[in-house]
Amino acid sequence: MQRYIVMRVGQSIVALIILSMIIFALGRFTGDPIILLLPQEATIETELALRAHYGLDQPWPIQYWKFVSNAVQFDFGDSIKSKRPVMDLIGPKVMNSLRLGLAGMVITLIIGIPLGVLAAVKRDTFFDGGAKLIAIMGQSLPQFWVGIMLIQLFTVQLDLLPAAGTGGISHYVMPAFTLGWWVAAAVMRLLRSSMLDALDGEYIKMARIKGLPEYKIVWKHTFKNALIPVLTFAGTYLATFITGAILVETVFAWPGLGRLVYDSIIWRDFPVLQTLVLMIAVVVITVNLAVDIAYAYIDPRIRYD
Amino acid sequence: MATTITTLARRPALRERGRQAVETLRRAPLIPMAIIVIVVFTATFAPLLTPHSTTQPSLADRLTPPVWQEGGTWEHPLGTDALGRDLATRLMYGGRVSMMVAIFTLAIGGGIGTAIGLVSGYFGGRIDAVFMRSADSTLAFPIILFAILLVVAVGPNITNVVVAIALVLWARYARVIRGEVLALRERDFIARARVSGCSHLRIILLHLFPNTVNTLLVLLTLQVGWVIIVEASLSFLGAGIPPPTPAWGSMVSDGREYVDTAWWVSAIPGIAIMLTVVAFNLFGDWLRDTLDPKLRQV
């Protein structure tokens, strides 16, 4: 067990190092940020001075080393667009994104879990069909488009909900729903099939023979076991959530990290983009690590080699 | 005489097989198939089907509503965008972009992924461990972010979008095909091939690969929709196909500013994305149930 954990942590660190190298290498391909910064009439001296200021005149390995050692100290340089330190831009937005993410997750759980269980228990009925429809829609509707259509309906036509920005509860409704629905569809599909597998189990037959009430069979005996395969995908869901947050925050002008990703694409602001990608990678890798370790504890059938 | 006997004996079997084929076709998802045919047809023959240009602005016609709304004309059946460009025309050409991206990404990503899956499953051991760890890391990473980083770094154009999506796509093929190979590897015919002196390459290409084709076909069909959505999302964010080339994602984005005055500008391309993706997903589901019913979670 300890060997497994050590190995898994080691793998995560290797993954992070490789990723940081890729990000750094890509940064050098980005096109020259200096060209964007320079006024048209700038002389070659100003250009060189600016290059030296951003450390862009050094050889690559030195630049990479500087990049890593600065990153460890949370110094990611200055944004090319706003000339302020990247961390100053990111800091105030973290909470906004976390709040939206949390709201999205609540929606996912509220929609995904009951529907997944219902679809399995009432297999091949109206509920199953409805759940299937929601799952297909969740897979097929582009999230950004759903957001725009919700604005069209609830802001433009019905004038019920605000279209953009943060504020009270009403600001959360549309973004959280748009964000949560996609993952809800995935959770539901997976939960349905693992519930069906679990319902086939011998121990369920045993529970039925014992004469346990149906709700106990479903929630206590089946649901608990069916949840394990769903939890395995927690890492994948997180990835889907982050992808979704970029699109949803862009559509609803939500002042979070996703919107910052969009702004940095538009402005070709590579220092900001690379910091965001690196931060998100650290979160994703840590969560996956935690899931794997937790999983090894929960399910003793996992092999540790 | 002998021939008549064989034909007579074979006839019922043939008829039976014919009946089965008809039965399979009858259960085929006709509406999704029709949508796929329409999208592919209009995308292929777009220049012959429309008199309008995709990029030439025509300010006199700007924000013309679709034909069924007041003020709409048959000149622009689905209306025009803020620059007066015909939406139906841009939709057809946008379909071209989507189809092209889908075909090339699936060919490259699916090809690489399948090759890795075959090698990984067949040889096992350390190669397998390295490939599968990389596949898992790729799958757990937010896909769009990776593609954005690549596209922003090397510049947005159709080639880079294809490369970016393919670099993410291979992982799922590698995983699924490897799983198939692990089961196939233990079968007798592989052992016999090895005993009779086949090289590794021969076993992989002629004995393992043909047995994974069904799975591969199903996976490819099911992922067309996914590729279309990723490409549309990238274009929507400005990290995909650069304007003025029409792409469904950027068309939706173009309409955002006019959501209160001209709903059709972003609604219509979104509907196109939705219908195409649903069609490919349903078709893929049917293909899976027909070719490879044991495959459930791909």
The predicted complex's ipTM stands at 0.81
Measure CB to CB from residue A141 to each of B152, B256, B274 and give the nearest one: B274
pLDDT tens across the length of chain A (305 residues): 777 888 888 888 888 888 888 888 877 766 566 666 667 777 777 778 877 777 777 777 888 888 788 888 877 777 777 778 888 888 888 888 888 888 998 998 888 888 888 888 888 888 888 888 888 888 888 888 888 888 888 887 787 777 777 777 778 888 888 888 888 888 888 888 888 888 887 888 888 888 888 888 888 778 877 887 787 777 778 888 888 888 998 888 888 888 888 888 888 777 788 888 888 888 888 888 888 888 777 766 655 54
For the cut 50, the answer to whether the pLDDT of residue B49 exceeds it is: yes
AA letter at A195: M
Total residue length of chain B: 298
Q: Which residues of A150-186 are buried (b: 16+ CB within 10 A; e: fewer)?
A: bbbebbeeeeebbbeebeeeebbbbbbbbbbbbbbbb
What does each C-alpha distance from B35 to A38, A134, B29, B41 come to in angstroms? 50, 20, 10, 10
Which chain A residue's Cα is nearest to B133? A11
Residue A303 is predicted with a pLDDT of 56
Q: How far is B274 from chain A (nearest CA, A)?
A: 5
Under 8 Å between Cβ of A253 and A165:
yes
Q: Inspect the interface and report whether the beta carbons of B142 and A273 lie closer than 8 Å.
A: no
Minimum CA–CA partner of A288 in chain B: B140
Task: Using a CB–CB cutoff of 8 Å, tell me whether B116 touches chain A.
Answer: no
The reported pTM is 0.83
A209-216: long-range pairs with CB below 8 Å, 24+:
none
Q: Which are the contacts of A252, defined by CB distance < 8 A and separation ≥ 6? A: A147, A151, A163, A164, A165, A174, A175, A178
Residues of A in contact with B155 (CB under 8 A): 31
Q: Which residues contact A139 (CB under 8 A, 6 or more apart)?
A: A185, A186, B225, B277, B281
**Closest to B255 (Cα-Cα) out of B128, B17, B79, B109:** B79
Top residue of A157, A236, A243 to mutate, by most chain B CBs within 10 Å, is A243
- B222, B288 Cβ separation under 8 angstroms: yes
Mutate to test the interface with A, among B35, B139, B141 (most CBs of A within 10 A): B141
Q: Residue A251: name the closest of A156, A202, A159, A179 by CA.
A: A179
Q: Is B137 on the interface with A (CB under 8 A)?
A: yes
**Integer CA distances (angstroms), B116 to A14, A236, B127, B130, in order:** 21, 21, 10, 11
Residue of chain A whose Cα is closest to the Cα of B225: A140
B265 touches A at CB < 8 Å: no
User: How far does A213 lie from chain B, in Å, by closest CA?
Assistant: 31
- Decide if pLDDT at B191 tops 90: no
pLDDT band at B69 (very low <50, low <70, confident <90, very high): confident
pLDDT of residue A31: 57
Q: Given an 8 Å threshold on Cβ–Cβ distance, is B152 in contact with A281?
A: no
> What is the average pLDDT value for chain B, to the nearest integer?
83
Least confidently predicted of B36-45, B164-173, B178-187, B257-266 = B257-266
Chain A contact present for B294, CB below 8 A: no
Interchain CB contact of A240 with B (< 8 Å): yes
Chain A and chain B share a number of CB contacts under 8 A equal to 128
How many Å apart are CA A126 and CA A119, to the nearest integer?
9
Among B109-123, B128-142, B211-225, top mean pLDDT goes to B109-123
Bridge partner residues of A68 (DSSP):
none
B143 CB within 8 Å of a chain A CB: yes
Chain A closest-CA separation from residue B260 CA (Å): 6
Looking at residue A119, its pLDDT comes to: 86
Chain A residues closer than 8 Å to B229 by CB? 140, 142
Report how far Cα A180 is from the mean position of its chain's Cα atoms: 11
Whether B104 shows a pLDDT value over 90: the answer reads yes
pLDDT at residue number A305: 46
Signed CA dihedral, B77, B80, B86, B91: sign only: negative
State whether A265 and B232 contact (CB < 8 Å): no
Measured CA to CA, the distance from residue A272 to residue A255 in angstroms comes to 15
Q: Is there a cis peptide before residue B244, judged by omega within 30 degrees of 0?
A: yes
Q: How many CA atoms lie within 13 A of B209 on its CB side?
A: 13
B158-178 exposure pattern, b = at least 16 Cβ within 10 A, e = fewer: bebbbbbbbbbbbbbbbbbbb
Q: Using CA atoms, how far apart are residues B25 and B43, in angstroms rounded to an integer?
A: 26
